[in-house]
């Protein structure tokens, strides 16, 4: 059975960390090293956020346009592309967009990956996977707006 250890160049960037039960938490607290025996099957080892105060260059860019006018519908257009990756591919890309409170629902089409919109939390989840640089990932379509919503 393998016993794995992962170390990070700057583990202090991680905020709000949660681990799979297989991770030895005391070792993380003391040394900022992930030490674990992987369980059988697929599992999520770690979830985390990187705080807004951290200066971390992510390997992608996002171009976005959300047009909301008075009425029942608006338009959303998002395109994701790699920054200079020196020939390496960008994989496992997931985008989360917190939509404005006035958005009821979305009717979108994506050319890569799959999406889901949660009208309660107002979060659009777009799971892209590996970015195909010959055809950049794009999601676009209409958004349904509260008809009684007033802009301020």
Yes or no: say if 76 and 141 are a contact pair by the CB < 8 Å rule.
yes
pLDDT average, residue stretch 54-82: 85
Between CA 29 and CA 42 the distance in angstroms is: 25
Interval 116-136: pLDDT, tens:
999 999 999 999 999 988 899
Q: Band the pLDDT of 49: cuts 50, 70, 90.
A: confident
pLDDT average, residue stretch 106-118: 95
* Residue 39 in this model has a pLDDT that exceeds 60: yes
Strand order in 93-98's β-sheet?
93-98, 123-129, 114-118
Please give the residue that has the higher pLDDT: either 88 or 29: 29
What is the DSSP secondary structure assignment for residue 39, as one 8-state letter? P
* Residue 57 in this model has a pLDDT that exceeds 80: no
Q: 100 to each of 9, 92, 117, 119, 120, how far by Cα in Å?
A: 36, 26, 12, 11, 12
Domain 60-145 has CATH 2.60.40.1170: yes
pLDDT average, residue stretch 35-60: 84
Q: Quote the pTM value.
A: 0.65
Q: Band the pLDDT of 56: cuts 50, 70, 90.
A: low
Q: Band the pLDDT of 94: cuts 50, 70, 90.
A: very high
Angle (CA) 131-99-74 rounded to 5° is: 95
What are the residue ranges spanned by the domains of the chain?
4-50, 60-145
* Residue 152 in this model has a pLDDT that exceeds 60: no
In percent, the amount of the chain with pLDDT more than 90 equals: 57
pLDDT average, residue stretch 81-91: 79
């Amino acid at each position: 059975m393998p016993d794995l250890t992962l170390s990070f160049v700057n583990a202090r960037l991680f905020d709000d960390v949660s681990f799979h039960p297989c991770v030895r938490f005391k070792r993380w607290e003391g040394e900022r090293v992930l030490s674990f025996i992987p369980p059988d099957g697929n599992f999520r080892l770690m979830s985390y956020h990187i705080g807004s105060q951290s200066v971390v260059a992510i390997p992608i860019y996002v171009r976005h346009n959300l047009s909301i006018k008075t009425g029942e519908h608006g338009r959303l257009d998002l395109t994701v592309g790699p920054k200079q990756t020196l020939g390496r591919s960008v994989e496992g890309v997931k985008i989360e967009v917190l939509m404005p409170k006035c958005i009821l629902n979305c009717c979108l089409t994506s050319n890569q990956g799959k999406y889901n919109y949660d009208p309660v939390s107002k979060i659009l989840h777009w799971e892209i996977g590996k970015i195909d640089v010959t055809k950049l990932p794009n999601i676009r379509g209409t958004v349904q707006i509260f008809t009684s919503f007033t802009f301020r």
